[in-house]
């Protein structure tokens, strides 16, 4: 139940009665994109930012899957996941932040459906492979999840049947890992193990689409290349260097610090909102 929406403004929010309740400890005062009138229909302030209004979390009129993930990381770290020890952010040992530290998932009963839920929860299209016996190295923190038994349809692994969180009968030699299907790709150029270049397309909000070249710089390209498993970016190409895409333009005004794990974690306009044409599709060159 939301109690911080101004009187008369509740209709600005889309009610989802079938959503997975995550019991997130945040309030709408923290969910800002464009300042105090971000959710307003009449230009009057509906919510007041405090104290870090520059943090861009939230979409107009609704919260997206990615907003909820960012809220999880910033405001509810007990529901944060990461993949460690792989070639990029798309694969590695599954780690969960619990009780103030990062821990692992035991491979008992761990299978494709568990990997699918984990990958989709982290914003990837699907799982590509699951691994057992500490394929990506042994973790050092607590073993947080054991006997995970997802059906594949859950929104998050925390909604799947499992032992009581924090209890297990495992050792770190049983740490589970996954490879997720990548949520970025380079199209129209060339992709090898040492170099890749092409038009950047990303997977977000359940769809593939292109990225506008507005503000897109070498820091954003480095995030993209690391995400794809390459060492660094060597070039950014504006103006549809590798052809104009036909898919929706999903990202615009992308501004990265360079340390983000995925391009969709960078500041940008809300997914799907832009003022671009496909003649402005950005392309990237990655190298090892």
pLDDT, tens only, 221-247:
999 999 999 999 999 999 999 999 999
For residue 95, how many C-alpha atoms fall within 13 Å in the half-sphere facing its CB?
25
74 in a domain, yes or no?
A: no
Residue 7: the pLDDT is: 60
Domain end call among 180, 208, 223: 180
| Lowest mean pLDDT across 3-12, 88-97, 206-215 | 3-12
What's the pLDDT at 182? Answer: 93
User: pLDDT tens digits, residue range 35-77?
Assistant: 444 444 455 544 443 333 333 333 334 445 555 555 555 545 5
- Name which of 127, 122, 238, 120 is nearest 180 in CA terms: 127
Is it the case that residue 219 has pLDDT exceeding 90?
A: yes
- Tell me which residue range forms the domain holding 20: 1-63
Q: What's the pLDDT at 98?
A: 83
User: What tens digit of pLDDT does each residue of 134-154 get?
Assistant: 999 999 999 999 999 999 998
Are residues 156 and 120 part of one domain?
Answer: yes
**Which of 35, 63, 91 finishes a domain?**
63
Say if residue 106 is in the same domain as residue 121: yes
Asked if the structure places residue 106 within a domain, the reply is yes
Question: Within a domain: residue 72?
Answer: no
Does residue 105 share a domain with residue 171? yes
Answer yes or no: is pLDDT of 11 > 80. Answer: no
157 and 196 share one domain:
no
**Residue 220: what pLDDT?**
96
199 and 281 inside one domain: yes
Q: Residue 70 falls within a domain, yes or no?
A: no
In a shared domain, residues 168 and 109 = yes
pLDDT tens column, 249-281: 999 999 998 888 889 888 888 888 899 999 999
Q: Quick check: 78 pLDDT over 60?
A: no
Is residue 75 domain-resident?
no
Is residue 69 assigned to a domain?
Answer: no
Do 218 and 130 lie in a common domain? no
The CATH number of residue 210's host domain is 3.10.250.10
What is the 3 state secondary structure string of the chain? Answer: CCCCCCCCCHHHCCCCCCCCCCCCCCCHHHCECCCCCCCCCCCCCCCCCCCCCCCECCCCCCCCHHHHHHHHHHHCHHHCEEEEECCCCCEEEEEEEECCEEEEEECCCCCHHHHHHHHHHCCCCCEEEEECCCCCCCCCCCEEECCCCCCCCCCCHHHCCCCCCCCCCCCHHHECEEEECCCEEEEEEEECCCEEEEEEEEEECCEEEEEECCCCCHHHHHHHHHHHCCCEEEEEECCCCCCCCCCCEEECCCECCCCCCCHHHCECCCCCCCCCCHHHECEEEEEC
pLDDT in tens, 98-131: 887 889 999 999 999 999 999 998 889 999 999 9
pLDDT over 60 (residue 32): no
Tally of domains in the chain: 3
- CA–CA dist 46, 56 (Å, integer): 16
Same domain, 278 and 203: yes
Residue ending a domain, among 137, 153, 180, is: 180
Q: Is residue 73 part of a domain?
A: no
Same domain, 45 and 109: no
CA-based nearest residue to 107, from 180, 162, 159, 164: 162
Mean pLDDT computed over 72-94: 77
Query: How far apart (Å, rounded) are the C-alpha atoms in residues 127 and 142?
Result: 24
User: Residue 80 in contact with residue 121, Cβ under 8 Å?
Assistant: no
Per-residue pLDDT of 152-211, as tens digits, reads: 998 889 889 999 888 999 999 999 999 999 999 999 999 999 999 999 999 988 899 999
Q: Give the per-residue pLDDT at 217.
A: 96
Quote the pLDDT of residue 6: 55
Same domain, 202 and 264: yes
Q: How confident is the model at residue 19 (pLDDT cuts 50, 70, 90)?
A: very low
> Does any domain span residue 31?
yes
Same domain? For 194 and 265 the reply is: yes
**1 and 48 belong to one structural domain:** yes
């Amino acid at each position: 139940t939301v109690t911080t929406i101004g009187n008369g403004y509740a209709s600005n929010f889309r009610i989802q009665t079938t959503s997975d309740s995550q019991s997130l400890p945040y309030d709408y005062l923290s969910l800002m994109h464009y300042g105090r009138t971000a959710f307003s229909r009449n230009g009057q302030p509906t919510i007041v930012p405090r104290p870090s209004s520059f943090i861009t979390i939230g979409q107009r009129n609704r919260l997206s899957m990615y907003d909820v993930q960012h809220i999880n990381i910033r405001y509810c770290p007990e529901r944060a996941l990461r993949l460690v020890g792989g070639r990029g952010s798309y694969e590695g040992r599954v780690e969960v932040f619990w009780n103030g530290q990062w821990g692992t998932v035991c491979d008992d009963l761990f299978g494709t459906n568990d990997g699918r839920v984990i990958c989709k929860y982290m914003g990837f299209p699907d799982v590509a492979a699951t691994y057992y016996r500490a394929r990506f190295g042994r973790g050092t923190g607590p073993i947080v999840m054991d006997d995970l038994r997802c059906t594949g349809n859950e929104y998050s692994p925390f909604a799947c049947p499992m032992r009581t969180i924090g209890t297990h009968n495992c050792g770190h030699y049983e740490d589970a890992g996954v490879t997720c299907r990548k949520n970025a790709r380079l199209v129209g150029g060339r992709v090898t193990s040492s170099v890749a270049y092409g038009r950047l397309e990303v997977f977000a909000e359940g769809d593939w689409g292109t990225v506008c070249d507005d503000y897109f710089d070498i820091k954003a390209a480095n995030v993209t290349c690391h995400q794809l498993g390459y060492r660094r970016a060597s070039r950014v190409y504006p103006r549809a260097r590798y052809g104009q895409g036909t898919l929706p333009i999903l990202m615009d005004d992308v501004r990265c610090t360079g340390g983000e794990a995925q391009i969709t974690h960078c500041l940008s306009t809300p997914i799907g909102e832009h003022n671009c044409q496909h003649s402005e599709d950005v392309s990237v060159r990655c190298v090892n």
